Structure 1
Amino acid sequence: MRLVAEKAVPSGLTVLNVQGFRHLASVSLNFSPHLNVIYGVNAAGKSSLLEAIYFLARAKSFLTPRLQRVIANGGKEVVVTGRVQNASGRHQLGVSFTEGKTRVRLNGEDVRSLSEFAGLIPIQVLNTEAQRLLTEGPTERRSFLNWGVFHVEPAYREVWRRYQRGLRQRNAALRLGNESVAKAWETELSEAGEVVTEVRTQFLNTLMTEWAMLLNDWMPHLTFDWRYRTGWLQGESLSDALQKGRSAELKQGFTLYGPHRADLVLVVDDQPVSQRLSRGQQKIVVIALRLALLTLWRQHSANRPLLLLDDLAAELDAHHRGLVMDRVRGMDVQTFITTIEAERVPFSDQAQWFHVEQGRISADERNERGSA
């Protein structure tokens, strides 16, 4: 796997324009390339602002799979645009959703493939539902893994597309009971699948070393490890697995073996983390994983990552909250933090401040004092 560091421009998302997003009033905001603090009472709209940023970066929500829910009551359309400055220059981004259709634009042109667009903003979210990465099943973890590799190894996008294309064709043949066509796609599928697995494994070997180091500092009384389940029997080639499983797959109507069935399993003291640890401890484990990923992205991607921290105080004691914030402070990433108690945000003298009240967002007066 190619891991070549390139010097990134110390910037990120510089401008955000929001229209028709949940209960947020239409607004245009200018952000700091370092730390941005969004404060206000509960239900003011702080999380919705982070969700709007994520919507711009990924054309989806981190709170709901149904984009219709992000449209303001009585509205018909949501539009979020922004300006990103990175190693390749300045880019104008835009995402809209209306009548069940998502439209993505980059520098004035429509984008057909999200991957052409999403590479500009490597983004991670830490919120009260962080432990869902452990509890929601393999699909969530495969998505985490694919996005993680995508921002480290650019060639991964094409080989994953190739694998998905072969998977769709073979599944279609299996549903029709056409064994000869299903067999014909196995070479393409197995070749691409083996490469996908090799790249993922190399990536994980690097990522999980960083993850384990973090947890050794944060929870030294526990022993953490990980397993990567490739999606077929260990010691067997994917080609052999597809050939042996073809009869069963014809009955099921879909492909049972391959990296689309893979899973990342986190363990502590030889037990799954999701079964062994409390909800708060699980959250710490996932925070360590996502911060390890940001570290890796920063080292090996030309584009500077963006971190959304939503209500970090929930379910984290003061000690672990301090450890997390110390780590974030030492990372060269653009950070957005929501909080109810603004005075408790560490290193806030370096921040750009935004106040949210009943959906209205305004730059805080302390920004002017800080720049005076």
Structure 2
Amino acid sequence: MTQPADADGLERLGWTGFRGLAPGSIDPDPGLNLIHGDNAAGKTSLVEAIYFLARARSFITHRTARVIANGQDAAVVNGRIRAQGQAYRLGVGHQQGETRVRLNGADTRALSESAWLLPIQVVNTEVQRLLTDSPDGRRAFLNWGVFHVKPGYRADWRRYRRALQQRNAALKTGHRQLSATWEPEMAEAGKRVDDQRRAFLAKLEPVCQKLWQQWLPDRSIEWRLRSGWPDGSGLDEILDTHRDRELAQGHGLYGPHRADLRVLADGVDATAQLSRGQQKLLVTAMRLALTELWGEQRAGRPVLLLDDLPAELDAGHRRALLDYLLCTPAQCFVTAIDATQLPLEAHGQWFHVEHGRVTAV
């Protein structure tokens, strides 16, 4: 995979006080970056730092304070990013329970102001949890997927969430008339959110199918989006019909905030039909396909983090995955304990991690 020297992506990454990493910085390759080192050397912390820069949170824990290294007061990650031909300076820090994001020297008001710079996906040894965990993760997959390809999605989702919160407050206090007042806006914004999710999935599915057919040739994979309210009815009708039930519950029970993406294998829920290894291949294909779609839409140079996954794949699937990485439009960071698991000696930039110190090889 050869990228021009001025290609979009993460050009420089620096960190202090982050996990077990010694303070340092790297200049990543615009295409492929391969990271090796012993167990507990800090490889995962390095890719976690990239994710923290992109999303202002960890992909390992919901408690952001845990990214702060022992004995330190704060964790700070800085990056220089080229996006759409321009250079940006991005910094994310966490201290005393507060996460702060600064873009080109100014505080941001919302994560969406900076998140577009690094459309990011993680593929690790727990990747199958997208299927096995609660619908929250699958909704997040949908929301971030649409966010990077549909410019108006953020405004529609925020509008829907605002109407939902106001209506929930009215439902909680038993205020029937006030809850009804918010329903038209909630229904209109909710339909726009659902329509954009469906349009996004229609574009993503053929990209997924290409990988599914290659990696799981004996399985028929498909998905179905559950909107969050009964099929065949408008959200406005459902909110009106079920208002008494929602008043009794004290919160909204219908809408895109209750949506779920159900993935099927041979017509059965994939978690019941596929082995753990097959589930990992299925979800890996979904995340790789998403970065491919982002690249095609030119929404920003996608970043793909693959943390120790090659160790869990057989030789055939490992080779197929590595071959894919040589063609993907994403900037890739791949970790492994043993460099021989990544037979790509002639490609990209290599880094070695030892006792928290990262060295370019």
Same fold (TM over 0.5): yes
Residue in 2 that maps onto 1:5: none
* Post-superposition CA distance 1:275-326 (Å, at most 9, x none): 1111111000000100111111001134111110100223321111111221
**Out of 159, 162, 165, which is 2:159 matched to?**
162
Q: 1:139 is matched with which residue?
A: 136
User: Of 255, 258, 264, which aligns to 2:255?
Assistant: 258
| Residue identity (%) | 52
Paired position in structure 2 for 1:37: 34
Cα pair 1:125 1:307 within 8 Å, conserved = yes
* Correspondence 1:150 to 2:142: no
Superposed, which structure 2 residues align to 1:81-96 within 5 Å? 81-96=78-93
Alignment partner of 2:40: what SS? coil
1:239 counterpart (191, 211, 236): 236
- Which of 184, 188, 192 in structure 2 is aligned with 1:187? 184
Q: Which residue of 329, 334, 337 corresponds with 1:337?
A: 334
Letter in 1 for 2:163: G
Q: Distance in 2 between matches of 1:234 and 1:352?
A: 50
Mark the runs of 5 or more structure 1 residues left unpaired by the alignment: 1-8, 365-372
Contact 1:151 1:301 in 2 (8 A): no
Secondary structure of the structure 2 residue equivalent to 1:153: coil
Of 325, 328, 333, the residue aligned with 1:328 is 325
Please name the residue that 1:171 is paired with.
168
The answer to whether the aligner puts 1:48 opposite 2:45 as a matched pair is yes
User: Counterpart of 1:303?
Assistant: 300
Quote the offset at 1:86 in angstroms: 1.4
Deviation, structure 1 residue 88: 4.6
1:113 to 101, 105, 110: 110
1:236: how far off? 0.1
- The answer for the alignment partner of 1:4 in structure 2 is none
Secondary structure class of the residue paired with 1:275: helix
**Aligned residue for 2:3?**
none
Q: CA deviation at 1:117?
A: 0.7
Q: Which amino acid aligns with 1:21?
A: F
Letter in 2 for 1:35: L
State the one-letter code of the partner of 1:293: L
**Would you say 1:200 and 2:173 are equivalent positions?**
no
Q: Which amino acid aligns with 1:180?
A: Q
Q: Is the 8 A contact 1:163 1:188 kept in 2?
A: yes
For residues 253-273 of structure 1, give each alpha carbon's deviation from its aligned partner in whole angstroms, at most 9, with x where no partner exists: 111000000000100011111
Structure 2 residues without counterparts, runs of 5 or longer:
1-5
Deviations 1:83-128 (A, max 9, x none): 0011150000000001100000000000010011101100011000
CA RMSD of aligned residues (A): 1.0
Secondary structure, in 3 states, of the residue corresponding to 2:309? coil
Aligned to 1:267: 264
TM-score by length of 2: 0.97
Inter-partner Cα distance in structure 2 for 1:78 and 1:57: 14
Give the counterpart of 2:59 among 58, 62, 67. 62
Q: Could you tell me how far apart the structure 2 residues matched to 1:165 and 1:238 are?
A: 16
SS in 2 for 1:260: helix
Partner residue of 1:357? 354
**CA drift at 1:205:** 1.0
The superposition leaves residues 300-353 of structure 1 with CA deviations (integer Å, 9 ceiling, x where unpaired) of 134111110100223321111111221221112111011111133133312211
